[in-house]
Amino acid sequence: MIGGVIGASPEPTAGLREVYLGAWEGRTTAEIATEFPQAWASWVEEPDWDVVPGGEGAAAFDVRVAATMDAIVARHEHGDVLVVTHGGVIQVALHRIVGKPSRGLFPFKIQNASISLIERRDGRAVIGGVNDIAHLESSLVTEVGPG
């Protein structure tokens, strides 16, 4: 296990919150399927944040994450930055680099406490790694669903 001092205090950043799921917040999948059968059927057929009743929506989520990540990069042009956030935010950041909106589709596996690396090379962002869990003890690794 690697240890060390990061050298800075955490800065909570609202723009790195997980997507807001409106009427689905705090509900189980079974509750959502029962209470919102049409929206859930649409989600199952093709996940899309825009089908979530009262939710943040795909475009707003993408814009929020992009603006926040851009602001972080602008403040740290010449150094490394550690960002701790949620799986959905990581998915949106990775999708942005490959040039596709996420809309709720999560093709990248993101486990709790995993490391994903975004690097700046020649003025553009590249994905340096996704879902690295080598630093975790095997007893701490859990399989997680999308996001």
- The answer regarding whether domain 16-140 maps to CATH 3.40.50.1240 reads yes
pLDDT category of residue 1 using cuts at 50, 70 and 90: very low
pLDDT digit string (tens) for 84-112? 999 999 999 999 999 987 877 778 889 98
pLDDT at 80 over 80: yes
pLDDT digit string (tens) for 27-62? 999 999 999 999 999 999 998 999 999 999 999 999
Could you tell me which residues come within 8 angstroms of residue 53 by beta carbon, excluding any fewer than 6 positions away? 22, 23, 24, 36, 39
Alpha carbon 139 to its chain centroid, in Å, reads 24
Could you tell me which residues come within 8 angstroms of residue 65 by beta carbon, excluding any fewer than 6 positions away? 15, 16, 89, 92, 93, 96
At 131, give phi and psi (nearest 5°).
60, 40
**pLDDT averaged over every residue in the chain:** 88
Domain ranges in the chain?
Answer: 16-140
